[in-house]
């Protein structure tokens, strides 16, 4: 079978380029020679691009001279064929429509080529099925992403877009949040929300509340702002996660639910908040030990099918890299780099939870530092934002240096912020419910169950 192409459209595009300089600009910014199926047309287009790059005029005589210089004029049909290209079109008015058709046919040919290559690799079976599947998805994704060759933007348009962005920031509600809101006022003031294409690392020692805070981020985005969120839980089962969410929202001690010791009022609150969560666009995958390839493939499908706006991964060290990686540190480096690449590809924030080593607990104040990130310094390098959770009360510290109570205090330390300041935000941790709240909110409603 002959691959998809249209000879007529190819000749119309080349003809338009011969008679209209503006058609040349449009064509060169959208396609390359592979958009043409016929080899002669590829050669003619390449000659035109040579002239274009040298700022030479493009018409039948100049293209003829260039093809003659390259000693390929006879292979494309000579002066007669070039003249026919120019004479067979009276206007370049439809050049953009014709270019779209060429791009469409090229995509179909690329899909056929990728399919053949993947089929051959599958028959040979020299790699694992997962690696071949990942290559197939990458190839398809690249075809989709490179539909247009245009990668630049002129300054006029860049300035216009930037001013529009600034206006959005200025007019945005919720304390100027332009990314995915965190749900915590001071944190949103600091970060402006979680930004698209950012890799956010949320790290802490065990029992600090990493999962609880990450679930709070997901809950706020999905329940309060109706933004679809994907959660990859490599440690906890879906039922455990949802139990945590419900207990946190309804302010019911988790042990009461697990032991079946709930009051009628608590039953009512579970029904109320469970109903809210049931309507939230949250998609949970609790398969343990997933590879970065599996998570990447699933994330792309979730983005395509449900339009997810944020991903949470709990947690990074439970992911698997390539089996042939020489060390665990190198494996973690590959994983963190891949997650950053995925955030950019999908243009959404990814929050990856991470463990810390024991070094912080050897220090007097127990406060974590970037050097405490477990198994790899590349996590810090790849991340756009690194946040730590520190709860002084956990280590028996009840008051600060000024005698203020530290009961329930949770410090979110922004240790790295690629596009903004570093510092810390104070939240309140309600241990009984495994729940984080705004610090001011806690003070305002101390002793009460706030109504949402």
Nearest by Cα to 243 from 215, 214, 222, 204: 215
Please report whether residue 101 resides in a domain. Answer: yes
pLDDT in tens, 288-311: 888 887 788 788 888 988 999 999
Cite the active site residues: 235
Structural domain boundaries enclosing 231 = 179-444
- The answer on 212 and 113 residing in a single domain is no
The DSSP bridge pattern shows strands 229-233 and 199-204 to be: unpaired
Least confident stretch, 13-27, 179-193, 239-253, 362-376: 362-376
Containing H/E element for 44? helix 39-53
Containing H/E element for 15? helix 7-19
Please report whether residue 1 resides in a domain. Answer: no
- The answer on 362 and 268 residing in a single domain is yes
Please report whether residue 154 resides in a domain. Answer: no
Q: Confidence band (pLDDT; 50, 70, 90) for 8?
A: very high
Please report whether residue 47 resides in a domain. Answer: yes
- The answer on 205 and 114 residing in a single domain is no
Is there a contact between 300 and 200 (Cβ–Cβ < 8 Å)? no
- The answer on 132 and 225 residing in a single domain is no
Is there a contact between 352 and 194 (Cβ–Cβ < 8 Å)? no
Return d(Cα 196, Cα 188) in angstroms, integer.
14
Q: What percent of the chain lies above the pLDDT cut of 90?
A: 32
Please report whether residue 370 resides in a domain. Answer: yes
Confidence (pLDDT) at 443: 43
Domain boundary among 101, 119, 145: 145
Mean pLDDT in residue range 420-441: 84
Is there a contact between 439 and 186 (Cβ–Cβ < 8 Å)? yes
Return d(Cα 380, Cα 401) in angstroms, integer.
31
Return d(Cα 49, Cα 55) in angstroms, integer.
10
- The answer on 321 and 192 residing in a single domain is yes
Is the pLDDT confidence value at 101 over 90?
yes
pLDDT in tens, 144-164: 665 545 555 667 666 776 676
Return d(Cα 302, Cα 296) in angstroms, integer.
10
Q: Is 323 exposed, middle or buried (0-12, 13-18, 19+ CB in 10 A)?
A: exposed
* E-assigned strand segments in 236-349: 282-285, 310-314
CATH number for the domain harbouring residue 302: 3.40.50.300
Please report whether residue 92 resides in a domain. Answer: yes
Return d(Cα 438, Cα 436) in angstroms, integer.
7
- The answer on 184 and 123 residing in a single domain is no
Q: Which residue has the higher pLDDT, 109 or 377?
A: 109
Q: Confidence band (pLDDT; 50, 70, 90) for 349?
A: very high
């Amino acid at each position: 079978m002959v691959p998809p192409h249209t000879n007529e459209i190819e000749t119309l595009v080349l003809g338009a380029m011969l008679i209209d300089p503006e058609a040349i600009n449009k064509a060169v910014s959208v396609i390359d020679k592979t958009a043409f199926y016929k080899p002669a047309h590829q050669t003619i287009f390449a000659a035109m691009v040579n002239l274009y790059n040298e700022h030479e005029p493009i018409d039948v005589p100049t293209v003829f001279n260039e093809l003659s210089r390259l000693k390929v004029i006879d292979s494309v049909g000579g002066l007669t064929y070039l003249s026919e290209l120019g004479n067979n079109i009276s206007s370049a008015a439809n050049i953009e429509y014709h270019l779209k058709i060429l791009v469409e046919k090229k995509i179909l040919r690329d899909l056929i080529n990728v399919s053949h290559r993947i089929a051959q690799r599958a028959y040979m079976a020299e790699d694992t099925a997962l690696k071949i599947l990942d290559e197939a998805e990458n190839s398809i994704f690249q075809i989709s992403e490179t539909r247009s060759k245009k990668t630049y933007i002129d300054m006029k348009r860049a300035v216009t877009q930037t001013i529009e962005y600034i206006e959005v920031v200025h007019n945005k509600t919720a304390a100027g949040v332009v990314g995915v809101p965190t749900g915590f006022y001071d944190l949103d003031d600091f970060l402006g929300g979680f930004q698209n294409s950012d890799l956010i690392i949320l790290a802490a020692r065990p029992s600090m509340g990493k999962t609880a805070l990450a679930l709070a981020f997901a809950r706020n985005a999905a329940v309060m702002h109706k933004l679809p969120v994907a959660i990859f839980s490599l440690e906890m089962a879906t039922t455990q996660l949802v139990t945590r969410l419900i207990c946190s929202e309804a302010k019911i001690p988790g042990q009461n639910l697990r032991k079946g010791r709930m009051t009628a009022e608590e039953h009512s609150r579970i029904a109320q908040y469970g109903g809210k969560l049931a309507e939230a666009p949250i998609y949970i995958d609790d398969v343990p030990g997933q590879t970065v390839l599996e998570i990447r493939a699933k994330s792309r499908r979730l983005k395509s099918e449900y339009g997810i706006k944020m991903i949470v991964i709990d947690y990074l060290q439970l992911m698997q890299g390539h089996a042939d990686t020489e060390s665990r540190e190198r494996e973690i480096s590959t994983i963190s780099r891949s997650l950053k690449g995925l955030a950019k590809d999908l243009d959404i924030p990814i929050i990856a939870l991470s463990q810390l080593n024991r070094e912080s607990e050897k220090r007097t104040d127990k406060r974590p530092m970037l050097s405490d990130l477990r198994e790899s310094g590349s996590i810090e390098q790849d991340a756009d934002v690194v946040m730590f959770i520190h709860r002084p009360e956990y280590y028996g510290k009840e008051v600060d240096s000024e005698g203020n109570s530290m009961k329930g205090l949770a410090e979110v330390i922004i240790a790295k912020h690629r596009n903004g300041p570093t510092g810390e935000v104070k939240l309140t941790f309600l241990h009984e419910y495994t729940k984080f709240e705004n610090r001011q909110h806690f003070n305002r409603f101390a002793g009460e169950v706030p109504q949402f």
